[in-house]
Amino acid sequence: MKPDYASRLFETLRKRGGLPKITLHGARHEHASLWIAGGGDVTLLSKRLGQSTSRITADLYVSRVGDADRVHEERVVGMIPRTPRVHERVRAPLTTGADEAG
């Protein structure tokens, strides 16, 4: 398949699907960035992208590693159980005179 044909086909499918404007190359880059940000394995990503080594993949997307670290840090912090804070004292339920007489 010729690259120009693949790009035109991608653009047609993108429009038909109502997706935001992005090039085929941009979609590939976005996929790789999201993969890394989601904690995906760089070696497996390298194979998916057809790159010869995972080092090339890591070098190309190293700027995204900081984003991935921040995302994972936020996830870990979100998993730490917190003791609920009591903002006001719990009031005893009201009783009626009939309850007290009984």
Q: pLDDT 10s per residue in the chain (102 long)?
A: 788 999 999 999 989 998 889 888 888 888 888 888 778 888 999 999 999 998 888 888 766 555 656 666 777 777 777 766 655 555 555 555 555 554
Widest pairwise Cα distance in the chain: 91
Distance CA 37, CA 29 (A): 12
Concatenated DSSP letters of 48-89: HHT-S-HHHHHHHTTHHHHHHHHHHHHHHHHHS--PPPP-SP
φ, ψ of residue 38 in degrees (nearest 5): -85, 0
DSSP-based three-state secondary structure for 3? helix
Query: Chain-wide mean pLDDT for the chain?
Result: 77
Distance CA 86, CA 94 (A): 20
Encode pLDDT of 72-90 as tens digits.
Answer: 677 777 777 776 665 555 5
- Burial of 6 (C-beta count, 10 Å sphere; 0-12/13-18/19+): exposed
